[in-house]
Chains A and B, each alone.
Chain A
């Protein structure tokens, strides 16, 4: 017998495990059990549902000031969906997230493979690699502003003065993109590397021993043992990196402020411009919801696809 609790199917057997003198007790419905989900409901309400409702509320109104608002239906959604600058920011965002995944996933795996497996090198490399993850995001933007300054920054000075290659992220779009990408890769590849390392360490020694006896090359060992065994952690790494890079705000905002021009205006930067700088709460709300749906949709698609990679298909 199956009952549905908040969409989760729970077998009825869980309720009637108790036996008295060989008599299996009948299951009876006890609606007070619903009270047990109350704490979760309250937390989720405050953390997600109420803020989301607020945004939905904004998105269907034109707000002039306190107490002055008009219901406009889906007008803001229509306007936002047709907004050229939003389209540009969206494509920029896809390009950014695509590059991030393309660079960080293989690089993170490579770093994990190269990390030592025992001895003092393990804690040393773990701490060194984790360092960028410990720095506050705003600080990271600041670090890279200084690092790439042509006059005093190590990288900027090196490029301009020592190598003679003009490089200024405040002046050219390409340089701004290169800097943002470098910063992002430096900041977040460690996460992928740490997850991949954890996955690698969890592979029992017998797999490697079997591979040696089977005469497998290093590449085959990677392809048929390490990669499949890392599937779980890499799925998490992929989704985290996709979501985080798609929602990125603080570091590029501090570094480039979305410029030069709109070259590095990603979705979140554009959203903040609309909602907070121009104080257009209605369009901002509609934009937020569209943004949210896109992230949700892509995370879902990626998750499904990555699950299938490991289970379906033939090799």
Chain B
């Protein structure tokens, strides 16, 4: 059990980092409370794995400290930290049986055979591996192998947190869902801190209580899945979460009205007031599901051309052109889709304003 704290952590793979882009991790300062399931979500190369390796101790950060329950563990090697890691593809000791694989971390720590046996049987039971214990690990299917990798972390009674580095990459789609549910069950049962790295938003949003979105070495937002969806703090979060991502339109402010190439979008007073104080390029952002599409013109509606309608079964995605910009709207099955011309409303409660990529506050 541990509360994991990252104190001003930054990392560069170069011995002397000069430019901003030399840093794989720019500045990470955050806390994960004990027993939470957190996901680190971001595209490839955003520094997720680097951060994970810093937490587990495989990598020493260039700057900053890592604390477990307030104890500084930065200089400690991975085997001295009570932490386990599950990798992208299953890492097994091929020549050993499943039992010996699970027992390996305990035997390395000099734990007596009877205790080893109790722990291995207990964990095998949780992971549904009991039937495989006598088999050689090499011959098993990918999902069973990944469970063994996880099991090697779970057997250690002192383990405080388990780190997952895209653990479902090599698993078949049907089994992915099953294994993900198993992970959630284990999390609820053992109340360990889980940190889960992924670039798959569905995986992150379904698995975690708390999701940290990473972008170019920074944590742009940490929050619950709903929070990330409703209030993206950065345009990247809006774009990365949700399918399709958030719509962004560059605009200028004229009182309460955001002007987009001659089309005016009315904002709520508060947003507009904050926007007038913000510096940098302004953009309005709206989720496709909140964009209202009408068949006829009315006050405060903006005219748009309908370019394409994609039917995805339970909903439809409409591609629209407004003042030279492309927007996407998602409509429910029962909503009518206008042909050729449409009129849009931006509900002020769901319309966000961004300055230089960050939500204006």
B96 / chain A contacts, CB cutoff of 8 Å: 224, 315
Q: Is the CB of A213 within 8 A of B79?
A: yes
Answer yes or no: A212 CB below 8 A from chain B CBs: yes
Contact sample, A vs B, 16 pairs, CB 8 Å cutoff: A206-B91, A209-B53, A209-B87, A210-B91, A212-B79, A213-B56, A213-B83, A213-B105, A214-B79, A214-B105, A215-B109, A224-B104, A310-B94, A310-B95, A314-B97, A315-B95
Chain B min CB distance to A46 (Å): 42
Answer yes or no: B100 CB below 8 A from chain A CBs: yes
Answer yes or no: A225 CB below 8 A from chain B CBs: yes
A204 / chain B contacts, CB cutoff of 8 Å: 89, 91
Chain A min CB distance to B159 (Å): 10
Q: Which of B66-88 contact A (CB under 8 A)?
A: 77-79, 83-85, 87-88
Number of A interface residues at 8 Å Cβ cutoff, please give it.
20
Cα A220 to Cα B100 in complex, Å, equals 13
Answer yes or no: A228 CB below 8 A from chain B CBs: yes
Q: Which of B143-159 contact A (CB under 8 A)?
A: 149, 152-153
Cα A315 to Cα B103 in complex, Å, equals 13
Main secondary structure of the interface of B (DSSP, over half): mixed
Cα A284 to Cα B79 in complex, Å, equals 63
Q: Is the CB of B108 within 8 A of A215?
A: yes
Chain B min CB distance to A222 (Å): 12
Cα A237 to Cα B63 in complex, Å, equals 46
Q: Which of A194-222 contact B (CB under 8 A)?
A: 204, 206-207, 209-210, 212-217, 220
Residues in chain B within 8 A of chain A (CB atoms): 53, 56, 58, 77-79, 83-85, 87-89, 91, 93-97, 100, 104-105, 108-109, 136, 138, 149, 152-153
B84 / chain A contacts, CB cutoff of 8 Å: 213
Q: Is the CB of B56 within 8 A of A216?
A: no
Cα A217 to Cα B79 in complex, Å, equals 10
Chain A min CB distance to B327 (Å): 43
A210 / chain B contacts, CB cutoff of 8 Å: 85, 87, 91, 149, 152
Q: Is the CB of B93 within 8 A of A224?
A: yes
Cα A224 to Cα B138 in complex, Å, equals 12
Q: Is the CB of B95 within 8 A of A228?
A: yes
Closest chain A residue to B81, Cβ basis: A213
Cα A11 to Cα B264 in complex, Å, equals 68
B153 / chain A contacts, CB cutoff of 8 Å: 213
